[in-house]
């Protein structure tokens, strides 16, 4: 599915469901079969939204799908109204009739925009554009109930399945890379449901930054200073529902807590 008209129709249906906070039991059109087709739908939706982008989520595409789609990561925009600094107990909004999940992540902030004509980056060059790293939680949610069950192109098509970013404390001395070895634990309603380290990522979390810089360059999207990059789920993608309590424990780097609530209509 590559036609822009079809992409526009799907984008309209996703946006309508997001604004009304209603669920979609079926994909709203012909599902995209390639990442390019998914990004076409995403671009059509972004063109219809006036709210500024505050950053981007990067999600991992795990084997064997990475070989099938020719990429091990995907991207989606994070809008400004969905970003919050965590101070005490935060709130994460999910589409109650759709899909909702939480992801413990390292968040990288762009301190310097790359040159407009740069298309490829080394890991060192990508790191040079970062001025801070924080711990955080991505709220992964979409009106489409099956968004994570139909492959990464479908996930890409609805803003990469993003509905928020919760920003926690800064990571000190992040340049030495020691944060990647820190074991992180996610608990829901007090029960541990996932653990892991960023060292398990291909090229680490900074590899997600490099991927995003190259992805946006290829799509003709200019990177802006101050944007946040949510670099990927460290402990896994954990489904949640309204009323649940989430704790992400980054050890000495800090602990974040949030209560899951239903996304209201906009």
Tell me the backbone φ, ψ of residue 31, rounded to 5 degrees.
-60, 140
pLDDT (0 to 100) of residue 87: 86
pLDDT (0 to 100) of residue 2: 42
pLDDT at 4 over 80: no
Q: How far is CA 147 from CA 101, 142, 199, in A?
A: 11, 7, 27
Buried b (16+ CB within 10 A) or exposed e, 35-69: bebbbbbbbbbbeeeeeebbbbbbbbbeeeeeeeb
Q: What mean pLDDT do residues 163-182 have?
A: 96
Q: What mean pLDDT do residues 176-200 have?
A: 96
Tell me the backbone φ, ψ of residue 52, rounded to 5 degrees.
-70, 150
- The backbone region for 164, taken as left when phi is positive above 0, alpha when psi lies in -120 to 50, beta otherwise, is left
The Cα–Cα gap between 3 and 171 comes to: 44
Confidence of residue 180 (pLDDT cuts 50, 70, 90): very high
The Cα–Cα gap between 53 and 86 comes to: 19
Portion of the chain with pLDDT greater than 90, in percent: 96
In sequence order, which residues have a C-beta less than 8 Å from that of residue 95 and are 6 or more positions away?
Answer: 17, 18, 21, 22, 23, 141, 142, 143, 163, 262, 263
pLDDT (0 to 100) of residue 239: 98
Smallest CA-to-CA distance from 181 within 201, 166, 210 is with: 201
Number of domains in the chain: 1
pLDDT (0 to 100) of residue 3: 43
**pLDDT tens, position by position, 11-65:** 999 999 999 999 999 999 999 999 999 999 999 999 999 999 999 999 999 999 9
Smallest CA-to-CA distance from 113 within 37, 240, 222 is with: 222
Q: What share of the chain is helix, strand, coil (3-state, %, to 5)?
A: 30, 30, 35
Lookup: tokens for 211: 């991927």
In sequence order, which residues have a C-beta less than 8 Å from that of residue 197 and are 6 or more positions away?
Answer: 180, 181, 182, 183, 184, 234
pLDDT at 234 over 90: yes
Which single residue is written with the structure tokens 């890379």?
A: 177
pTM for this predicted structure? 0.94
Q: What is the CATH number of the domain that holds 73?
A: 3.90.850.10
The Cα–Cα gap between 232 and 169 comes to: 17
- Structural domain range at position 214: 4-262
pLDDT top residue among 76 and 266? 76
pLDDT at 165 over 90: yes
pLDDT (0 to 100) of residue 5: 57
Q: What mean pLDDT do residues 176-204 have?
A: 95
**pLDDT tens, position by position, 81-138:** 999 999 888 999 999 999 999 999 999 999 999 999 999 999 999 999 999 999 999 9
The Cα–Cα gap between 126 and 129 comes to: 6
**pLDDT tens, position by position, 252-261:** 999 999 999 9
Lookup: tokens for 9: 């129709």
The Cα–Cα gap between 98 and 110 comes to: 31
Say if CB 231 and CB 135 are below 8 A apart. Answer: no
pLDDT at 1 over 70: no
The Cα–Cα gap between 158 and 238 comes to: 18
């Amino acid at each position: 599915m590559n036609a822009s008209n079809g992409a526009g129709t799907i984008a309209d249906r996703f946006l309508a469901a997001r604004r009304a906070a209603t669920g979609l039991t079926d994909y709203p059109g012909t599902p995209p079969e390639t990442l390019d087709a998914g990004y076409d739908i995403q671009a059509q939706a972004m063109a219809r939204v006036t709210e500024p982008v505050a950053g981007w989520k990067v999600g991992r595409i795990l084997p064997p799908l990475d070989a099938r789609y020719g990429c091990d990561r995907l991207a989606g925009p994070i809008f400004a109204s969905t970003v919050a600094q965590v101070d005490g107990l935060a709130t994460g909004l999910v589409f109650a009739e759709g899909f909702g999940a939480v992801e413990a992540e390292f968040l990288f902030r762009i301190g310097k925009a790359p040159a407009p004509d740069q298309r490829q980056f080394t890991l060192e060059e990508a790191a040079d554009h970062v001025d801070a790293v924080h711990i955080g939680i991505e709220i992964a949610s979409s009106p489409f109930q099956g968004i994570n069950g139909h492959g990464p192109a479908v996930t890409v098509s609805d803003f990469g399945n993003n509905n928020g970013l919760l920003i926690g404390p800064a990571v000190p001395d992040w340049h030495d890379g020691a944060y990647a070895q820190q074991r992180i634990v996610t608990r829901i309603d007090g029960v541990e449901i996932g653990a892991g380290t960023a060292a398990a990522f291909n090229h680490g979390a900074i590899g997600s930054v490099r991927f995003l810089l190259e992805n946006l360059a290829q799509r003709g999207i200019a990177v802006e200073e101050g944007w946040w990059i949510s670099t990927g789920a460290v402990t896994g993608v954990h489904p949640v529902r309204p009323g649940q309590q989430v704790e992400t424990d980054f050890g000495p780097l800090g602990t974040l807590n949030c209560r899951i609530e239903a996304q209201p209509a906009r």
